[in-house]
A and B are shown apart, each in its own frame.
Chain A
Amino acid sequence: MTETLSTPVTPSPDTSRRASSRVRSTSRGRRTGGAAGPSLRERRLSRTGLLAVTPALLLTAVFFVVPVALMAWMSLHKWPLLGRSTFIGLDNYVRAFTADDTFLRSIGFTLIYTVVITPILFVAGLALAFFVRRPSRASTFFRTIFFTPYVIGFAAASFLWLWFTDPSAGSVNAILTSLGTEVDQTSWFVEQWPALINVIVMVTWKVVGFQMILLLGGLNSVPEDVLEAAQIDGAGWWRRLTGIILPLMKPTIILVLVFSISGSLLAFEQFFLITKGRPDNETVTAVYWIYNVSFTKFELGYGAALSVIMLVLLLIVAAAQIRLLRGPKND
């Protein structure tokens, strides 16, 4: 069973599976009494359950379900911050795809960012996972340090990076100067590709430890005896990696890719704070542009339409994840 092989060797995934089977058996147990319809006690019980979930559902309804519906409704309107909104049909969507170059460019830039950073994070995360795989105190220490940047916020990391790589006052500059090299770092903030690379280095530094931890879980579920057998049969490390390790890690890999793809599609802070969209909106991501439209130009209806488009993009990624994960189990 592929699933068992590739879940991380930590208790949680396993216990959660145990938990869901527990729910099933509990409910089956409760139902036995009521073949002729629910008894009074059962009905009271189910009312207790409903009562317990009500506060959370209320909040979910007001701040999640209503906004999703409202977003669709708003996207069909010209919706200013103050004053009346007017129904304009699909005009906002037409505008997004035909008359808004910045939006199309921001989608393109977001996709480029995603396509570039995802393999970098994956390969670096996998390399680090191999690196700290051996159980030892030093490995644990390395893992902990590699993971640490992940726990700080994206905004804090962006401010930190702004300072760290600042062309004149920053530490990178200090280090480069003391090594005797003069590098003009100004372009790291104001030119599209150098700025993109600067952000990618920052995000890799911040997020790669998270990928490492997840991949380590997957890596450890690959049975050693299979690898040893392959080695005895003369398979080199590349064959073992591509032929055995990666296929067995498939669910973890899909998970890690989905995390980095959906995270990158939603990128905002790192560009808003580090590149500020320079030059000339060339480093503006989709969420950044939605922010500009909705909250600096206050075109809420148009912003809602752009959000709907973004949401569709994200749902496609989520659907792909579900299909990829369920695929092998069906045969």
Chain B
Amino acid sequence: MTEPRSDASAPASSSTAVVAPPAAAIAAISPTPAVSLRRKRGRGAVGVWWWVGGIVLVSLFALPLLSAVTGSLKSPAELQQRPATFFPQTLSGDAWSRLFDPSQGTLTGLANSLVVAIGTVALTVVLSTLAGYGFGRFRFRGSTLLFGVVLAGMMIPFSVLLTPISVVLRTLGVSNSLLGLVLVYTTYQLPFCIFIMRNAFAAIPDEIEEAAMIDGCSRRSVLLRMFVPLVVPGIVTAAIFAFLNAWNEFLGALVLLSDQALFTLPVVLQTKQIGQFGKVDWGLLDAGVVVSMIPCLLIFFLLQRYYVNGIFSGAAK
């Protein structure tokens, strides 16, 4: 099978960097040319029903997301109003000002979530780049076995291991801390990210390394100056997934943190939502949901090619 070269918009480095993203992410998943040929031959215009169905489906998919936005913009009085409204009758910034009111705890939650997500990204990127370099460029005694152990982490989900993990954290004295959470999150991002980084490093031609070594480069400067720029697409993919997984994670944060001041955003929102029975602060919850969706949506829309590429790398393992 010939290698599917995407089109001209593919980055020039794609011949060397293995995780070079496909041309235009979701748009790039297109069928074999035969289809477009046949389409040109005149099976012709897309049916009206296709458009109708598409627009109906798009509305259905977008509706829940939209409802969180509209809910967060309603005044407390309108949220109490029955029958309920979908679009706010008057726009109100009330929920949003409460979200950023320090006494609500949501602001702390937001900060904690950011610290945990960024910490996880940083640690994951450094460790998986190093490990990808080790596994991708060297073969040492036990390397296959060790790589197997790393990949086993992909088979055993961390939600099943939380009971012993909490005991390990307590023994190490990092229970109930953001550091402990970062260490645990990082561990469970490593399998996928090392897999990606190993492929990226393994795809670099030996000649590049040899030429540089002959020119007197040390191994370290080969790694830092030549390899790292070549594996940037892999690093971006690893960073995206580490960020999203750490940002969105709920069960681990719920279990491993007991100090309210350390709760991440989803856990804070959970305390908001069980608050007083029947008296949920919907405006605040909606604003919190919107805030927790924003980074995910931004990353998805801005870095879509890396994101979709990562999904297929994960699927190809």
| CB-based contact A151/B300 at 8 Å | yes
Q: By DSSP majority rule, is chain A's interface helix, strand, loop, or mixed?
A: helix
B63-76 vs A, CB cutoff 8 Å, 1 = contact: the mask equals: 11101101100000
| CB-based contact B282/A166 at 8 Å | yes
| CB-based contact A156/B163 at 8 Å | no
**B34 — which chain A residues lie within 8 A by C-beta?**
223-225, 228
Report Cα–Cα, A133/B269, bound state, in Å: 38
Q: Does B97 have its Cβ within 8 Å of any Cβ on chain A?
A: no
**A17 — which chain B residues lie within 8 A by C-beta?**
316
| CB-based contact B199/A19 at 8 Å | yes
| CB-based contact A169/B168 at 8 Å | no
One of A41-49, A111-119, A190-198, A237-245 contacting the partner: A41-49
A210 (CB) vs chain B CBs: closest residue: B311
* Given pairs A13-B315, A156-B269, 17 additional interface contacts (CB within 8 A): A17-B316, A50-B138, A60-B153, A63-B165, A153-B244, A153-B248, A154-B250, A156-B292, A159-B269, A159-B288, A213-B311, A220-B31, A224-B35, A224-B38, A262-B157, A268-B251, A273-B273
A206 (CB) vs chain B CBs: closest residue: B64
| CB-based contact B244/A151 at 8 Å | yes
A294 (CB) vs chain B CBs: closest residue: B163
| CB-based contact A11/B20 at 8 Å | yes
| CB-based contact B251/A269 at 8 Å | yes
Report Cα–Cα, A12/B307, bound state, in Å: 12
A35-59 vs B, CB cutoff 8 Å, 1 = contact: the mask equals: 0000000000111111111011101
A22 (CB) vs chain B CBs: closest residue: B202
| CB-based contact B168/A62 at 8 Å | yes
- From B18, B46, B53, B162, give the contact of A19 (CB < 8 A): B18
Instruction: Contacts A145-B58, A171-B63 given; indicate if A8 touches B313 (C-beta within 8 A).
Output: no
A146 to chain B, nearest CB (A): 6
Q: Does A23 have its Cβ within 8 Å of any Cβ on chain B?
A: yes
| CB-based contact B46/A314 at 8 Å | no
Q: Does A170 have its Cβ within 8 Å of any Cβ on chain B?
A: yes
- From A12, A20, A63, give the contact of B187 (CB < 8 A): A63
B274-304 vs A, CB cutoff 8 Å, 1 = contact: the mask equals: 0000001010011011001100110110001
Instruction: Contacts A16-B313, A135-B35, A217-B29 given; indicate if A171 touches B160 (C-beta within 8 A).
Output: no
- From A47, A59, A160, A290, give the contact of B289 (CB < 8 A): A160
Instruction: Contacts A45-B138, A163-B71 given; indicate if A9 touches B168 (C-beta within 8 A).
Output: no
| CB-based contact A152/B162 at 8 Å | no
| CB-based contact A171/B32 at 8 Å | no
**A209 — which chain B residues lie within 8 A by C-beta?**
61
B228 to chain A, nearest CB (A): 13
Q: Does B143 have its Cβ within 8 Å of any Cβ on chain A?
A: yes
B169 to chain A, nearest CB (A): 8
| 3 nearest A-B pairs in the assembled complex, by CB-CB distance | A49-B138, A153-B248, A52-B134
Report Cα–Cα, A70/B160, bound state, in Å: 13
- From A135, A155, A173, give the contact of B270 (CB < 8 A): A155
| CB-based contact B140/A152 at 8 Å | no
Instruction: Contacts A74-B163, A163-B68, A213-B26 given; indicate if A13 touches B157 (C-beta within 8 A).
Output: no
**B184 — which chain A residues lie within 8 A by C-beta?**
63
Report Cα–Cα, A177/B6, bound state, in Å: 49
**B217 — which chain A residues lie within 8 A by C-beta?**
none
Report Cα–Cα, A13/B82, bound state, in Å: 53
- From A55, A147, A210, A225, give the contact of B130 (CB < 8 A): A55
Q: Does A315 have its Cβ within 8 Å of any Cβ on chain B?
A: yes
| CB-based contact B130/A56 at 8 Å | yes
A136 (CB) vs chain B CBs: closest residue: B46
| CB-based contact B138/A11 at 8 Å | no
Report Cα–Cα, A162/B273, bound state, in Å: 9
**A155 — which chain B residues lie within 8 A by C-beta?**
248, 250, 266, 269-270, 292
A199 to chain B, nearest CB (A): 14
Q: Does B106 have its Cβ within 8 Å of any Cβ on chain A?
A: no
Q: Does A96 have its Cβ within 8 Å of any Cβ on chain B?
A: no
Report Cα–Cα, A88/B39, bound state, in Å: 70
A5 to chain B, nearest CB (A): 8
**B211 — which chain A residues lie within 8 A by C-beta?**
none
**B219 — which chain A residues lie within 8 A by C-beta?**
48
B107-125 vs A, CB cutoff 8 Å, 1 = contact: the mask equals: 0000000000000000000
A304 (CB) vs chain B CBs: closest residue: B163
| CB-based contact B35/A159 at 8 Å | no
| CB-based contact B86/A178 at 8 Å | yes
Q: Which of A258-276 contact B (CB under 8 A)?
A: 262, 266, 268-269, 273
Q: Which of B26-48 contact A (CB under 8 A)?
A: 26-32, 34-36, 38-39, 46
**A70 — which chain B residues lie within 8 A by C-beta?**
164, 167-168
Instruction: Contacts A23-B202, A160-B289 given; indicate if A142 touches B137 (C-beta within 8 A).
Output: no
Q: Which of A168-192 contact B (CB under 8 A)?
A: 168-171, 173-175, 177-178
Instruction: Contacts A67-B168, A148-B300, A291-B255 given; indicate if A26 touches B139 (C-beta within 8 A).
Output: yes
